[in-house]
Amino acid sequence: MASSSGTSSGCSQIPNSGSEEDLQNVMNQRKQKRKLSNRESARRSRMRKQQHLDDLMAQVNQLGKDNSQIITALNVTTQHCMAVEAENSVLRTQMLELSNRLQSLNEILHCINGNGHGIGNGNGDGDGLETSQYYVRPWNLMPVMASADMFQYC
């Protein structure tokens, strides 16, 4: 019996060694397949990373162009604003000047028409200038400076 058990154990080792080889082959194939899969995954990862980098670089370039356009528009707008402010300052000065002229003219008209101190108002003061009610005493008038640009707004 010993010989039969030895034979059977010898026979059982042969298939065991064959299945160990098969198992090793299967494990090696799985290992190779895993390596290949990992390499492919790493390659895809590098490609995604490169694509992301390319996208970011394109975005940087576009944002740089947009920034330049915004700065140019800002400079143009700032210059326009400064020109409008300068024009407003000139217009305010002209408005004050015209307001002063109007006030002076209104005072003259008030002196001529409204206060009754004019020469020739029919009071018979005997100074010989009673031909018109629009004459005034020269000392009651404020000096008014007239210029050519005064009439450009008419």
Res 114: pLDDT: 75
Is 28 in the same domain as 84? yes
Task: Please tell me whether residues 20 and 75 are part of one structural domain.
Answer: yes
Over residues 80-126, the pLDDT tens digits come to 999 999 999 999 999 999 999 999 999 999 998 876 554 444 454 54
Dig out the tokens for 13 from the structure: 């080792």
Answer whether residue 107 is part of any domain. Answer: no
86 and 40 in a common domain: yes
Distance CA 81, CA 74 (A): 10
| Domain identity same for 56 and 90 | yes
In a domain, 88, yes or no: yes
User: Is 52 in the same domain as 120?
Assistant: no
Helix, strand, coil percentages in the chain from 3-state DSSP, rounded to 5: 80, 0, 20
Using CA atoms, how far apart are residues 76 and 79, in angstroms rounded to an integer? 5
What is the model's pLDDT at position 150?
52
Q: What is the mean pLDDT of residues 40-61?
A: 97
The number of distinct structural domains making up the chain is 2
Residues 20 and 57 in one domain: yes
Domain assignment present for residue 7? The answer is: no
Strands (E), the chain: none
* 16 or 53: which leads in pLDDT: 53
The residue whose two tokens read 């029919």 is: 122
Together in a domain, 132 and 88: no
Range of the domain at 128: 115-146
